[in-house]
Amino acid sequence: MSIYFGCPGKQKSHNLEVKTMKRILMRNLVSVLGLGMALAVLYSAHSTKAVTEKNGSQKDVSAAALFDKHCDTCHGKDGQAKTFKAKFNHARNLTDAKWQSEVSDERLFNSISNGKGKMPAWRKKLSEAQINSLVAYVRSLKK
């Protein structure tokens, strides 16, 4: 008797288990798919970067992309350091013509490589060529 009454209950919880399993599987499937897509995007970004770096005429484009990726959080898209985070970190206004005329390319290169004040050092994340192209990009921001 007890077996007979036990079964439907068990059946129910079994169904519930299957449902949860399915849900978990689906969720994992979605995250695996998402990861795959993210990797694909990363990979294609990586390969286009390699192409633009080889292609000298598009150097500015990749420097702008680097700036957007690593620098604009603190310096702002236009380099004017007007955002809240920029003000909070005392980031430099890179467009300032007076300041631009006072600093050498070497100094910019060193500051970007080694960091300055609250700015982190970039030499481990970026290559020398990338930092050089960022120096040129910073020069192009001058107003």
Site residues for ligand HEC per CB under 6 A: 70-71, 73-75, 89-92, 94, 103, 107-108, 111-112, 116-119, 122, 134, 138
CA distance 24 to 81: 45
- Report the residue number, 48 or 103, with the smaller CB distance to ligand HEC: 103
- Report the residue number, 27 or 118, with the smaller CB distance to ligand HEC: 118
Least Cβ distance, residue 85 to ligand HEC (angstroms): 7
Nearest residue to 131 (alpha-carbon basis) of 101, 99, 106, 104: 106
Amino acid at 65: A
- Report the residue number, 7 or 139, with the smaller CB distance to ligand HEC: 139
Least Cβ distance, residue 129 to ligand HEC (angstroms): 13
Count CB atoms within 10 A of the CB of residue 15.
Answer: 10
Contact 92, 75 (CB under 8 A): yes
Least Cβ distance, residue 79 to ligand HEC (angstroms): 8
Residue nearest to ligand HEC (CB): 117
Helical pair 128-140 and 59-66, crossing angle rounded to 10 deg:
90
Contact 49, 62 (CB under 8 A): yes
Least Cβ distance, residue 26 to ligand HEC (angstroms): 38
- Report the residue number, 10 or 87, with the smaller CB distance to ligand HEC: 87
